Amino acid sequence: MSLNIKAKLVPLAKARCRELRKRQTKAEEIFWSRVRNKQFQGLKFYRQYPLFFDLLGKETFYIADFYCHTKQLVVELDGGIHDRQKEQDKLRDGVIELLGIRVVRIQNKDVLEDVEEVIKRISCVL
């Protein structure tokens, strides 16, 4: 990524991430309470974390719901809107995986119903 583009993208990404953190969903709040401060296997997770990449000459970014750099893992919590954007999510996951990062998608309802089971499922991926 060129320095000129990155200088423009980073502030934009930071502002968008802050905005998303301020209006997190209940599922994100519950999941975050379980993984923050290295509570989950001593791993550092970031929430609403920008992943920068170049796609066909266009430098841009995706914002991951939760990201663990150590394990190169993105955890996406999916609400109802994701039922209508499956193709977009598939493309997004493919791009993120090309960056060498695994993507795990979890339904919001699963987090709301049993966050401990979700944590176990993520443990199996690590």
What is the per-residue pLDDT for 6?
66
Which domains does the chain possess?
A: 3-125 (3.40.960.10)
What is the per-residue pLDDT for 1?
45
* Phi, psi (rounded to 5 degrees) for 123: -60, -35
DSSP 72: T
Count the neighbouring beta carbons within 10 Å of the beta carbon of residue 47.
Answer: 20
What is the per-residue pLDDT for 59?
85
Chain mean pLDDT for the chain: 89
Q: What b-and-e string marks burial along 89-112, b requiring 16 or more CB atoms within 10 Å of the CB?
A: beebbebbeeeebebbebbbebbe
pLDDT in tens, 51-101: 998 877 788 899 999 999 999 999 999 886 656 677 888 889 999 999 999
